[in-house]
Amino acid sequence: MSSTDTYILGIESSCDDTAAAVLCNDKILSNVVATQEVHKQYGGVVPELASRAHQQNIVPVVHQALAQAGIEKSQLSAIAFTRGPGLMGSLLVGTSFAKSLAMGLDIPLIEVNHMQAHLLAHFIDEPGFERPSFPFLGLTISGGHTQIVKITDYFEMEVIGKTLDDAVGEAFDKCGKMMHLPYPAGPLIDKYAKAGNPNAFTFAKPKVKGLDFSFSGLKTSVLYFLQKQEANQPNFVAEHRDDLCASFQKTVVDILMAKLKKACKETGINRIAIGGGVSANTGIRHALTENKEGWQTFIPKFQYTTDNAAMIGIVGYLKYKQHVFADVSVAAKARYLF
Ligand code: KG4
Ligand code: ZN
């Protein structure tokens, strides 16, 4: 520790994970995530319950992050928090907590865009992980978003492709539900796909112009296919679970890779960095690392792909260096475009 070191507390509460992290400059000292189990029984996130759980979790999660980092509150240089996008009730908990703490400690407050943070997580100093140089393309794939972003500098980002309907994680979760898998089904589909044949079944691929995505057609295709099969064979899903998961996952991977290929061609950029919960997917990681396109791919450490506060903290550090601080009147923003 030196007197020139910067200590940032990052706070994330945009959806159903209450998270806090402490950074010393661009290094992670602690990264605590409390995942809300309450939503499982409803098959998706219930906003009212998420907000209530954040209120219960935020104080213990922040305490734990400080304790694990071995840092006293008084040593903090600034507090960074997720301003949006996300669920309003959830965002309000993190926002008001961050504001009060920053005021109480009389230190700067830094507002962070969650989607930018998913991509800037690549700038965390992590042994064995290289940082992308500018410009690069970001593929943000999560339960709420699917975007291709052109990144020319830390805060110069342009969304060049996005989903017109469902996010890719939503497609995983909803199709998983049709296969009678619990929420969130993404990690389970990934697990079962490993033992399945990706060419066993064929599902519809959308025809969307440009760099945009659509996953609602794929969802319908899976639904009709399963309804038809289960009408004749009630145990169809149970008997073909692994093949169904592998075939579904392959379809998603093909859709994503085709758009990335197009994006690289159109922009002339061949550096690709992924972020968001779905980037934990083995099929996607494999397709990116095995790609024959000559891309340089950047895949973050698993704990920095799903929702976490380390990514909020690194944006906090980058903004701190540029003296970009928020006023205490800053408000949460459910729809926060950049
Ligand atoms: O980024 P994230 O933690 O939360 C937001 O949506 O912002 O992403 C959660 C999503 C869920 O839809 C979950 O099913 C999906 O990421 N997911 C996966 C995998 N792990 C998480 N989808 C496919 N394969 C995985 N291994
Ligand atoms: Zn996210």
Integer CA distances (angstroms), 283 to 145, 182, 193, in order: 19, 20, 9
**Which amino acid is present at 12?**
E
Separation between Cα atoms, residue 38 and residue 41, nearest integer Å: 7
pLDDT, one tens digit per residue, over 282-303 is: 999 999 988 778 899 999 999 9
Ligand 1: residue whose CA is nearest its atom 16: 277
The reply to whether ligand 1 has any atom less than 6 angstroms from the CB of 281 is yes
Q: How far is the CA of 8 from the centre of ligand 1 (A)?
A: 26
Looking at the DSSP bridge assignments, the partners of residue 22 are: 9, 30
Contact 50, 40 (CB under 8 A): no
Domain at 7-122+306-321, CATH class: alpha beta
Give the number of whichever ligand sits closest to the CA of residue 278.
Answer: 1
Integer CA distances (angstroms), 293 to 224, 260, 281, in order: 35, 10, 20
The reply to whether ligand 1 has any atom less than 6 angstroms from the CB of 169 is yes
Give the number of whichever ligand sits closest to the CA of residue 306.
Answer: 1
- The domain ranges of the chain are 7-122+306-321, 132-299
pLDDT at 1: 58
Residue 18's nearest CA partner among 6, 45, 8 is 45
Q: For residue 144, which atom of ligand 1 is closest to its CA? A: 6
Q: How far is the CA of 277 from the centre of ligand 1 (A)?
A: 4
Q: How far is the CA of 264 from the centre of ligand 2 (A)?
A: 24
pLDDT, one tens digit per residue, over 241-280 is: 999 999 999 999 999 999 999 999 999 999 999 999 999 9
Q: Is the pLDDT of residue 76 over 90?
A: yes
Same fold, 7-122+306-321 and 132-299: yes
Tokens 């057609």 belong to residue: 217
Ligand 1: residue whose CA is nearest its atom 24: 281
pLDDT, one tens digit per residue, over 164-207 is: 999 999 999 999 999 999 989 999 999 999 999 999 999 999 99
Contact 283, 193 (CB under 8 A): yes
pLDDT, one tens digit per residue, over 91-135 is: 999 999 999 999 999 999 999 999 999 999 999 999 999 999 999
- Structure-token pair, residue 228: 């038809």
Ligand 1: residue whose CA is nearest its atom 22: 186
pLDDT at 267: 98
Task: State phi, psi for 207 to the nearest 5 degrees.
Answer: -110, 90
The reply to whether ligand 1 has any atom less than 6 angstroms from the CB of 143 is yes
Residue 281's nearest CA partner among 210, 190, 216 is 190
Say how many CA atoms lie within 13 Å of 177 toward its Cβ. 14
Separation between Cα atoms, residue 148 and residue 75, nearest integer Å: 38
Q: Give SS3 for 158.
A: strand
Which residues neighbour ligand 2 (ion) by CB within 5 Å? 142, 307
Separation between Cα atoms, residue 26 and residue 238, nearest integer Å: 46
Say what percent of the chain tops pLDDT 90: 89
Q: For residue 276, which atom of ligand 1 is closest to its CA? A: 1
Q: Which CATH superfamily is domain 132-299 in?
A: ATPase, nucleotide binding domain (3.30.420.40)
The reply to whether ligand 1 has any atom less than 6 angstroms from the CB of 249 is no
Separation between Cα atoms, residue 140 and residue 122, nearest integer Å: 12
Integer CA distances (angstroms), 2 to 7, 49, 75, 314, 319, in order: 11, 42, 12, 19, 20
The reply to whether ligand 1 has any atom less than 6 angstroms from the CB of 276 is yes
Give the number of whichever ligand sits closest to the CA of residue 312.
Answer: 2
Contact 319, 116 (CB under 8 A): no
State how far Cα 120 lies from the chain centre: 11
Ligand 1: residue whose CA is nearest its atom 3: 306
The reply to whether ligand 1 has any atom less than 6 angstroms from the CB of 279 is no
The reply to whether ligand 1 has any atom less than 6 angstroms from the CB of 192 is no
Strands (E), 7-55: 7-12, 17-24, 27-35
DSSP for residue 132:
P
